[in-house]
Amino acid sequence: MNPGIHPDYHPVVCQDRSTGEVFLTRSTANFTRTIEWTDGNIYPLISVDITSASHPFCTGKARVLDQAGQVEKFRRRYGRRGGGAGSGSGTGGAAGRSR
């Protein structure tokens, strides 16, 4: 690697917000929160929403991860819009093109 052109790649601790699971990994991101790891060293702490400890594909169970009411917030902001695929609106798509 050429010196001086790559970001600092250092150990960090990731914490899953939904399960509390923590693990040591490496990252180029910088964070202000820190945590003391089992080896006695202090590492930056990254809090993430989903890790392999909570992802439905890895755990085999479905979970609802709507912590801040994001779906309701989206529906309030944009409302329920009708239509979708095959709604027959006539705008765009292959059916509306002339040859």
pLDDT digit string, tens, across residues 79-98: 877 655 554 555 555 555 55
pLDDT value at residue 83 = 55
pLDDT value at residue 58 = 57
Domain regions of the chain by residue span: 10-79
Contacts of 94 (CB under 8 A, 6+ apart): none
pLDDT digit string, tens, across residues 52-83: 666 655 566 665 666 667 778 888 888 877 65
pLDDT digit string, tens, across residues 12-67: 998 888 888 888 989 988 888 999 999 999 999 988 877 766 665 556 666 566 66
Q: Are 18 and 63 in contact (CB under 8 A)?
A: yes
Cβ neighbours around 36 below 10 Å, total: 11
